[in-house]
Structure 1
Amino acid sequence: MPTLRPTTLAALAGLALLGGCERRGGCTGEYCGTMVIAATGEPDILLPPVSEFATTRDVTEPIFLKLADLGLSGNTVGDEDFQPQLAQRWEWDAPTTLVFHLDPRAHWQDGQAVTAADVAFTYDVYTDTVVNSPFRSSLRHIAAVTTRDSLTVVFRFRQRYPEMFYDAVYHMRIMPAHLLRELPRDQWRSTPFGRAPVGDGPYRFVAWKAGQSIELAADSTFFLGRPHIRRLIFRFTPDQQVAVTQLLAGDADVIEVLITPDNVERACADAKLACYPYKGSAYGYVGFNLAAPGDSTKPHPLFGDRDLRRALVLATDRERPLHNVFGDLARVPPGPMSQLWWVWDPEIRELPYDSAQAARLLTRLGWIDSDGDGIRDKDGRELSFRLLVPTTSAIRRQYARLLQEEFRTAGVDVQLDEVDFTLFNERARAGRFDALLTTWNTDPTPSSGFPQIWTKAGFGRSNYGRYFNPQVDQLVDRAVTSAMNRDQARRAWRSAFEILNQDAPGIFLFATENVAAVNKRFTDVTIRPDSWLALVRTWRVPPDRLTDRDRVER
C-alpha cells in the first residue's frame, strides 16, 4: 500500500470532515452559489501528473495551480499573454534561463507555504521515467529546474525556441512536496492522495462518491481572490443524453459541450439556459494499432501493413457520418488536429475518399472475396478486425456502427468491442486492441499536443498505436524548436501532417465546434477554449438569483 507521511494523513482526515454535514438556507450575499456540472466521464485519479483524462483536468483545474496560465488570447508564443498564478513575476536571466519569483501569499490548503522546492519537485515527478507522466514528452526541452531560495526557481532550457515559456508553465500543476516527497514513484497512480488531494487553488477537495459525484468547496482564503461560487459539484452521468436531460430538468446547471444539433436546439430554446459557442479543442479518430496486441515488439498482423491501412482510409466516406451525427457542429480534419490549432489548413494533402481505388488496392494486396460471403479473405483468413469503443460515448457508438456499415460495403468485417470507459483506457494504454475509436482533447498548440500521440516520444504513454516515422519526428522537432517565424513553422507542420496522412496510422473523422449551456442565474461566464473551467472562480450567482441549492452551507 502506498506510504504517506503523517502530515498527509492528517490533512486528508481534516478535509474529509468538511463533507460530514450540510445545512440549507444559510448562505446569502455575493459568495454563495452551487454549480452542478453534468460530466459524462469520471476521473481515474485527481493527480495531474499521472492522468490525461479530460475529466481529471476539469476537476483538478480549480484545485492545483500552475506558475502562470494561458490568457484568453490563446497565444502560446512568448510570455506577454500569460497570467500570473503561483509566480508573482518572472524574467529571463539569459536566452535559455527563465527565473520565476513565487507569490509569498500562496499556500497549500493544509496551511504550508508554496515554495520553490515544490516547483523543482514537481518537475522531477513529471519527468521521472517510473512515474511515466503522459506529459513528460512536453517537457523534453527543459534541461533542469533548480531553486535559488524558497521563493525563486530557475528553469534552464536546452535551446531557445518560441514556446519556451509555454512549456515551462502550461503542462505542470505544482504538487506539494511536503506531502508527496516520500511517496514511492511507482505508487503515484494508486496513492490515496489521488482520491482526496490537498491543493493550492481556489477550490479545495470535499468528497468523492465513486460513480456519483465529486464536490469541491471554495477556499475563502485563496490568495488571488475568493471564488464567488461556493460549491462545485461534478455529477457523473452514463452518457451525453442523460447529462442533457439533467440539464433541461434543472438537476444540473452546466454542460461543457452539447455535441449534437438536436441537443443544441433543445438547450438553447430553454428559457433558463444560456448557450456559449466556443472553439473546439477535440478531434475524433479511428486509431490503428501498428503493433501486435499485447506485444509491441511485433507488427500487427493487419495494420503493420501500410498499404492495408491506406486502403481502409480510402474506403471511408468521412463526410457522411459527420453530417449524420454532428450536422454543422464539426468538420472533417485534414489530419490529427483540433480546430483550436493555428496550423489548421484545409489544403493539407490527405488520402481522399475513393472506394474504387480502395478496392483495387485491397485486391492487389491479395484480399479478395473467394467464397462470395461479402467479406474479403486471404490465405484462409477473413479481413476482419475488432474496433474498441467506450460505452459511455453515445457519439462514438453511433460512429462505430456507421463505420461498420461502410467497411462491410468494402468487404471488411468489423466487430465492435464496446467496453466501459475504465476498461477502454486500460486496454488502450496496454495496446490490447486492433483499432480504437477515440477522441483527443488537445493542448492549445500542436507543439505539445502532437508529439505525445504521434511521435516516438509518446511510446508507452499516449501513442497507443505506436506510430513512428523518423521524418515526422524530425519535422516536428524543427517546427517546435527552431528560431523560425510562424510561416516557416507552418510549412514544417504541414509537411509533418502530410507525411503522417500518407502513412495512414488512423482515420481522422471529426473536429468539433463546441456549444456549452449554462443556467442563466450564473453571470460573468467566461470560457477559455483549451480549458473551459479555467476561469470558473470569476463566475458568480447574483444574490437576487440564488436558489435553495445555492444557499446550502457546510
Structure 2
Amino acid sequence: MEAGDHRTSGRRILATLAGGAALIASLLAAAAVERPSGTERRGGRVVIGVSGDVSSFNIYTATNAFSQEVDDLLFLKLADEQDDFKEGPPTFRPSLAKSWEPSPDGTRLTFHLDRRARWSDGRPVTGDDVLFSQRAASSPEVSWVGRDVKEFVADVLAPDDRTVVYRFTRVYPYELMDAVEGNVLPAHAYRDVPLAEWPKRSFTSAPVVDGPFLLKKYERGSLIELARNPRYMRAPLPNLDSVVFRIIPDETSLVNELLSGGVDVMENVPAVAVRRIEADPRLRLVRVPDLSYHFICWNTARPPFADARVRRALTMAIDRDAIIEALLPGTGRPCAGPVLSFLWAHDPSLRPLPYDPDAARALLKESGWEDRDGDGLLDRDGRPFRFDLETNQGSRLRADVAQMVAEQLRRIGIEATPRVYEFGAFIDRHEKHDFDAFVGSWRESTKVDLKSAFHSASREGGYDYGMYANVELDAVIDRARATATTEAARVLWFKAQAIIASDQPYTFLFERDRMNAAPRRLGGLRMGPRTAYAGLEHWYWEPESPPGKGNAR
C-alpha cells in the first residue's frame, strides 16, 4: 500500500459523508447489470487469480468466504439473494425452488422444487436432499459457522419429492433468508459419512453437483478448475467451457500475472496497482461496495481496555482519515459502527468519533493515565501504557494500519507494538481471548444481526473475541432478532448501534469499495458486493479481430 501521510480537512469529511450514499447507490446499480448485447458466444476459459485456497468443497465444513463463493458455483440453493438491501432485507429469485409462499399466519414457508433440477449423476434433486442439508446445517456435531441462521427454524418437512415446508418458531423478517441459506447437498452422495465425522473430513472433491459447473481438477494451494455441467437446469448456460482459479498468495506476484496475461481476472486489486491496471488497454476496473469493515478489537477482559473511557480515548487518538488517505485513497470511508452504510439497518445519524488527541488525553487523565515519570509514556499505578497490536500474515493493508496506529498512539504517550501472526495462530489467540488488541475485518452477511460479535452469549463459541458485555445491548439484540417487522427491527438496530458506538468495544476504522480487474472483452459480468462471481455462468468472451491467443485458453 502507498504510505503517504495526508490529512483530510473537516470540509472534505463532510463532503465524503454526504456523497457516500449516492456513490454507493450508483455502484450497486452499475454492478447489477451488465447484460449480453447479442454478440454473446459460448466457449473459452477464464483464469481468475486469487490469493487463498478453499478450506472445503462441503459448505457446512468450510471456514472461509472464498469456499462459499466456489461452492456456490457447484451447489445450488433454494433461492438466490439479490443485491437490493439498501431499503430493507434483500429479495430472492428462484433457484432450486421455482416458487414459494408463506402460510396465512406467517409461521411456515412452502417451497416448490423445479422439476428440471438434477444432480450431475442424473438423479433428480428432491425434498430429501433439502431435509438432509437442513440437518447438516443445524447439526451441533457439524458445527457449521452459519448455524445460527437456523435458530428459529422449528422443523422442515417434505410432503412429497417436490415440496418442502419450513416451520418457524416465530414470525420475523428474515424467514425466507434463513430458510434458503446454505447450499443443498446430494443426500445419496454424503449420507454414508456420519455428521459427527464431517469436521474431521477434508472434502477435497465434489463428485456430484447440481450447479452450473463441475469440479474438474483440484490441486491444493495451486489451482481449482471448473468445467461446464451439461446437466445444469439452466442449460445451455454456462457460456464458458471452463473456469480456473489460480492460487497466488503474494499480492505483487498476482498483480504481475494479471498484467502479463497469466490471469484474466483479479478481485480486490490493491490501491498501489490501480494506476498500472488503468494504463493497460486490455483491462478495466469494476468498482463495487465491499461487504466488510475494518476495526481494532480491544480485549475488554484486560486492563486498561475494560474502561469504556479508555477505549473512546484510543479511538479519538487515531486519525482514521489519514489512514484512509494513505492506504485507500478514493475507495475508503470512515465507519462509525458495525452496520455497513449501504445496508437498510444502518443509522445514518451515527457519526464516527472525531480525531481529537487533546480530548483523548483528557479522557485518559480522567481514567488515571498520566506521564508521571517524564519518560514520554502514560502510566498508572507504576505501569506504563503499552500493549501488543496484532494482525495476520497475508494482509499488507492490516499490517500498514497497525503501523500507522502505533505511530499515532505514540504521540499521546501510548506504546503499541505491532505483532504479525500466521493466520491460524492469529485466530487461535482470538478464540482463547489471549491478546491485547488486534486489527481485523469482518466480511458481513446482508442479514443484519449483531449477536455473533457483540452479544455476551457469543463470548464463548462465537466471535465476541474481546469479551465485551453490555446487558442493555443484549436485550436490544434479542428483541431486534425476534421482532416481526422490518420497521420495528430497524428502530432496535439503530439503538444497538448507538450503544456500541458509545462503548467502543471496537475502534471502527473504515469500510471501502473493492476494485476488481477484468478484460474489456469479458462480457456478462454481474460483480456485486456479495461476490465478484455472481452470475459467472453468464460470463462470455466477446470476439476479437484478429483473434489473439491470450484468451483462447
Which category describes the TM-score, using the shorter chain as reference length?
Answer: 0.7 to 0.9
1:251-310 deviations in whole A, cap 9, x for unaligned?
Answer: 1111222242x43332223210122222221111111233xxxxxxxx334433333322
Task: State the identity as a percent.
Answer: 32
1:74-223 superposed matches below 5 A: 74=85, 81-94=91-104, 95-169=106-180, 171-194=181-204, 196=206, 198-223=208-233
Which residue number in structure 1 is paired with residue 468 of structure 2? Answer: 467
| Structure 2 unmatched ranges of 5 or more | 1-39
Task: Compute the displacement of 1:375 (Å).
Answer: 2.4
In structure 1, distance between residues paired with 2:471 and 2:550: 56
1:21-73 deviations in whole A, cap 9, x for unaligned?
Answer: xxxxxxxx943222221212223223322334222222222012110011243
**Cα pair distance change 1:537/1:125, threshold 3 Å:** same
In structure 1, distance between residues paired with 2:221 and 2:424: 12
AA aligned opposite 2:309: D
1:101-500 superposed matches below 5 A: 101-169=112-180, 171-194=181-204, 196=206, 198-225=208-235, 226-260=237-271, 262-290=272-300, 299-348=301-350, 350-447=352-449, 450-456=450-456, 458-459=458-459, 460-484=461-485, 486=487, 488-500=488-500
| Structure 1 unmatched ranges of 5 or more | 1-28, 291-298
Structure 2 residue matching 1:113: 3-state secondary structure: coil
- Whether the aligned pair in 1 keeps the contact of 2:313 and 2:363 (CA below 8 Å) is yes
In structure 1, distance between residues paired with 2:305 and 2:195: 35
Task: Compute the displacement of 1:87 (Å).
Answer: 1.0
Task: Compute the displacement of 1:528 (Å).
Answer: 2.6
In structure 2, distance between residues paired with 1:181 and 1:97: 27
Structure 2 residue matching 1:490: 3-state secondary structure: helix
- Whether the aligned pair in 2 keeps the contact of 1:146 and 1:155 (CA below 8 Å) is yes
- Whether the aligned pair in 1 keeps the contact of 2:89 and 2:447 (CA below 8 Å) is no
Task: Compute the displacement of 1:241 (Å).
Answer: 3.3
In structure 1, distance between residues paired with 2:139 and 2:231: 33
- Whether the aligned pair in 1 keeps the contact of 2:204 and 2:218 (CA below 8 Å) is no
Structure 1 residue matching 2:101: 3-state secondary structure: strand
Task: Compute the displacement of 1:373 (Å).
Answer: 3.0
**Cα pair distance change 1:197/1:494, threshold 3 Å:** farther
Task: Compute the displacement of 1:102 (Å).
Answer: 1.5
AA aligned opposite 2:233: F
Task: Compute the displacement of 1:533 (Å).
Answer: 1.0
- Whether the aligned pair in 2 keeps the contact of 1:279 and 1:339 (CA below 8 Å) is no
AA aligned opposite 1:188: W
**Cα pair distance change 1:363/1:504, threshold 3 Å:** same
- Whether the aligned pair in 1 keeps the contact of 2:521 and 2:543 (CA below 8 Å) is no
Which residue number in structure 2 is paired with residue 519 of structure 1? Answer: 519
Task: Compute the displacement of 1:500 (Å).
Answer: 0.6
Which residue number in structure 2 is paired with residue 295 of structure 1? Answer: none
In structure 2, distance between residues paired with 1:442 and 1:274: 26
Structure 2 residue matching 1:50: 3-state secondary structure: coil
**Cα pair distance change 1:108/1:423, threshold 3 Å:** farther
Moved more, 431-440 or 533-542: 431-440
- Whether the aligned pair in 1 keeps the contact of 2:291 and 2:445 (CA below 8 Å) is yes
**Cα pair distance change 1:112/1:378, threshold 3 Å:** farther
AA aligned opposite 1:433: F
Task: Compute the displacement of 1:231 (Å).
Answer: 1.8
In structure 1, distance between residues paired with 2:484 and 2:44: 48
**Cα pair distance change 1:265/1:400, threshold 3 Å:** same
**Cα pair distance change 1:70/1:324, threshold 3 Å:** same
Structure 2 residue matching 1:275: 3-state secondary structure: strand
Normalized against structure 2, the TM-score is what?
0.85
- Whether the aligned pair in 2 keeps the contact of 1:87 and 1:102 (CA below 8 Å) is yes
Which residue number in structure 1 is paired with residue 33 of structure 2? Answer: none
Structure 2 residue matching 1:188: 3-state secondary structure: helix
In structure 1, distance between residues paired with 2:537 and 2:393: 33
Task: Compute the displacement of 1:191 (Å).
Answer: 1.0
1:430-477 deviations in whole A, cap 9, x for unaligned?
Answer: 433322211222112324xx3332224544133333333232233234
- Whether the aligned pair in 1 keeps the contact of 2:119 and 2:125 (CA below 8 Å) is yes
In structure 2, distance between residues paired with 1:138 and 1:385: 36
Which residue number in structure 2 is paired with residue 33 of structure 1? Answer: 44
How many residues get paired?
Answer: 510
- Whether the aligned pair in 2 keeps the contact of 1:452 and 1:463 (CA below 8 Å) is yes
1:391-436 deviations in whole A, cap 9, x for unaligned?
Answer: 2111111111101111222222222221233433343344333222
1:49-101 deviations in whole A, cap 9, x for unaligned?
Answer: 2334222222222012110011243479588x421111122122342110111
**Cα pair distance change 1:457/1:110, threshold 3 Å:** farther
AA aligned opposite 2:435: F
In structure 2, distance between residues paired with 1:378 and 1:428: 26
- Whether the aligned pair in 1 keeps the contact of 2:389 and 2:436 (CA below 8 Å) is yes
Normalized against structure 1, the TM-score is what?
0.85
When the two chains are superposed, the root-mean-square deviation of aligned CA atoms in Å is: 2.6
**Cα pair distance change 1:129/1:339, threshold 3 Å:** same
